[in-house]
Amino acid sequence: MKIYNTLSRRKEEFVPLKENEVSMYVCGPTVYNYIHIGNARPMIVFDTVRRYFEYKGYKVNYVSNFTDVDDKIIAKANEEGVSSSEISERFIKEARKDMADLGVREATVHPKATEEIDGMIEMIKTLIEKGHAYEKNGTVYFRTRSFKDYGKLSKKNIDELEAGHRDESHALKVSGEDEKEDPLDFVLWKPKKEGEPYWESPWSKGRPGWHIECSVMSKKYLGDEIDIHAGGEDLIFPHHENEIAQSEAANGKQFARYWMHNGFLNIDNKKMSKSAGNFFTVREIGEKYPLMVIRFFMLSGHYRGPINFSEELIKAASNGLARIRTAVERLDDLYKKAVSAELTDAEKETVDEAERMSKAFDAAMDDDFNTADAITAVFELVKLANTKVDENSSKELIEVVKGTIDVLLDVLGIDVEEEKEMLDEEIENLIAQRTAARKERNFKRADEIRDELLSKGIILEDTRDGVKWKRA
């Protein structure tokens, strides 16, 4: 299996630190709003990478964080007049729902930055002791030039970076706002401002810088050295570059063996931005298209390349997914009517062809997770099913062909089972359970039932005459 390593800028044979195990850290979202369609791409891509490792027999420890303290979260909290934790908890819950709808499985651990502050303080102390960090008036900075390999991931030259910072640095020094020893130094800990959440530390009441959070969460849940660190290519610099500097300076080991980055997502050939009016949340997209279509679309191109999101391309993905769904449903119907029999010579040939296509799928995924070519192999299987399997086929043949399609779709995280509309009886039963839960003052369970019904398009209204419901 080969992975394109951003660190070396080439494909490398994957050799895990521990045999048959993979440790993988993926930078997660900052939870101040609903996740947007750009956030969805790394979630889908690296969920698929994880699924493929598991399909190949690896045990995967998959860690993906939630950044739940940040300027944007604080701004949103102030705007609404609530605590920042209320904002982050609300949008973590919404992010989990969107991820599930996109077929993204729960990580082994989803750490939250606010629950790992002690570890961050300890790593900052270590960096100060080793001479890699220093404190000025309650702010702690990382001494960038103390890490000789700075720039090795982004391939940026430190002297050129300094030239770019010179004018900005001069302006800040004149105003007295910048106390850094070097304009390239970055913040590890910053004192609180009025109205901000804060934690006690040896330097000031404050909060950690963004970069240190991921270094600490990766170390705690995966160890000093990990197999794969992944995220969007916009994180290469400065976030991942700074993570490497902090982690390797503190731990004295290579931080991650393989660095994987997905390409940008454009909307109608333009960069997505609020100012351009082409910024969409996953929730908004889900109102127009089934989110399984979005997942299928995201995997239809190679993860490292840019991908263009347009009405035309989504319709093409929708049609492609419908072709697969129709073939699977047809195989299901044929299986119900088929009888068991020994495979004929012609059927044995079809089984061999299915096996060849399965191997073509593996070969595509082994070559830096080329999901585009893997999907081509699935379409070849669909074509085989449509041309070589009919009402005269044995149960055994149908089982092999459908089983092969099912396994490969599961690796891609594609669910072709159409969700059946809930029956009135099922709805009434859940409402009765919710009513009972409320009587027992089990409000958590009552809220879970309401959310479950809402996710299936059932809206509840509590009235004096009892609970009324309607379909959205």
Q: What digits encode the pLDDT tens for the residues 171-230?
A: 344 334 468 999 999 999 999 999 899 999 999 999 999 999 999 999 999 999 999 999
Residue 133 CA: distances (Å) to CA of 140, 184, 283, 381: 7, 12, 42, 57
Is the separation of the CB atoms in 314 and 293 below 8 Å?
Answer: yes
Is the separation of the CB atoms in 174 and 61 below 8 Å?
Answer: no
Bridge partner residues of 13 (DSSP): 2
> Would you tell me the crossing angle of helices 117-129 and 241-251 to the nearest 10 degrees?
70
Is the separation of the CB atoms in 47 and 106 below 8 Å?
Answer: no
Closest listed residue to residue 75, CA positions, set 114, 113, 32 = 32
**What's the pLDDT tens digit per position in 220-249?**
999 999 999 999 999 999 999 999 999 999
Q: Is the bond preceding 238 in cis, omega lying within 30 degrees of 0?
A: yes
Closest listed residue to residue 374, CA positions, set 386, 359, 384, 355 = 359
pLDDT number for residue 443: 87
- Number of domains, the chain: 3
Do 238 and 326 share a domain, yes or no? Answer: no
Q: Is 292 contained in some domain?
A: no
**386, 412, 438 - which closes a domain:** 412
Distance CA 283, CA 274 (A): 16
**What's the pLDDT tens digit per position in 284-301?**
998 888 899 999 999 999
Q: Is 300 contained in some domain?
A: no
Do 65 and 194 share a domain, yes or no? Answer: yes
Do 455 and 377 share a domain, yes or no? Answer: no
User: 33 or 177, which is more confident?
Assistant: 33
**365, 391, 412 - which closes a domain:** 412
Q: Which residue has the tokens 């970076």?
A: 161
- Tally Cβ neighbours within 10 Å of residue 254: 14
**391, 412, 433 - which closes a domain:** 412
The answer on pLDDT for 77 being more than 80 is yes
The answer on pLDDT for 383 being more than 80 is yes
DSSP string for residues in 251-304: HSS-SEEEEEEEPPEEETTEE--TTTT---BHHHHHHHS-HHHHHHHHTTS-TT
Domain of residue 46, CATH code: 3.40.50.620
Do 37 and 143 share a domain, yes or no? Answer: yes
Distance CA 257, CA 321 (A): 35
Q: Is 419 contained in some domain?
A: no
Distance CA 229, CA 328 (A): 36
Contacts of 94 (CB under 8 A, 6+ apart): 34, 35, 283
Do 329 and 240 share a domain, yes or no? Answer: no
**What's the pLDDT tens digit per position in 406-425?**
999 999 999 987 555 556 77
Classify residue 393 as left (phi > 0), alpha (psi -120 to 50) or beta.
Answer: beta
**What's the pLDDT tens digit per position in 337-366?**
999 999 999 999 999 999 999 999 999 999
Closest listed residue to residue 454, CA positions, set 97, 100, 99, 105 = 97
pLDDT number for residue 291: 92
Distance CA 206, CA 417 (A): 49
- Tally Cβ neighbours within 10 Å of residue 189: 24
Share above pLDDT 70 across residues of the chain, in percent, rounded to a whole number: 95
**Structure pTM?**
0.87
Do 61 and 163 share a domain, yes or no? Answer: yes
Q: Is 400 contained in some domain?
A: yes
Token couple for 79: 């705007």
The answer on pLDDT for 168 being more than 90 is no
Do 242 and 151 share a domain, yes or no? Answer: yes
Q: Is 81 contained in some domain?
A: yes
Domain that holds residue 43: 2-262
Do 374 and 441 share a domain, yes or no? Answer: no
Distance CA 232, CA 38 (A): 9
pLDDT number for residue 422: 57
Q: Is 271 contained in some domain?
A: no
Domain of residue 373, CATH code: 1.20.120
Do 337 and 211 share a domain, yes or no? Answer: no
- Tally Cβ neighbours within 10 Å of residue 429: 12
pLDDT number for residue 167: 47
pLDDT number for residue 272: 83
The answer on pLDDT for 384 being more than 50 is yes
Pairing verdict, β 265-267 and 270-271: antiparallel
Distance CA 96, CA 45 (A): 16
Do 156 and 8 share a domain, yes or no? Answer: yes
Q: Is 298 contained in some domain?
A: no
Q: Is 58 contained in some domain?
A: yes
3-state secondary structure of 421: coil
Do 317 and 429 share a domain, yes or no? Answer: no
**What's the pLDDT tens digit per position in 318-345?**
999 999 999 999 999 999 999 999 999 9
3-state secondary structure of 17: coil
pLDDT number for residue 329: 93
Question: E strands along 27-71, which residues?
Answer: 59-64
Do 399 and 442 share a domain, yes or no? Answer: no
Residue 79 CA: distances (Å) to CA of 75, 86, 91, 124: 6, 13, 15, 32
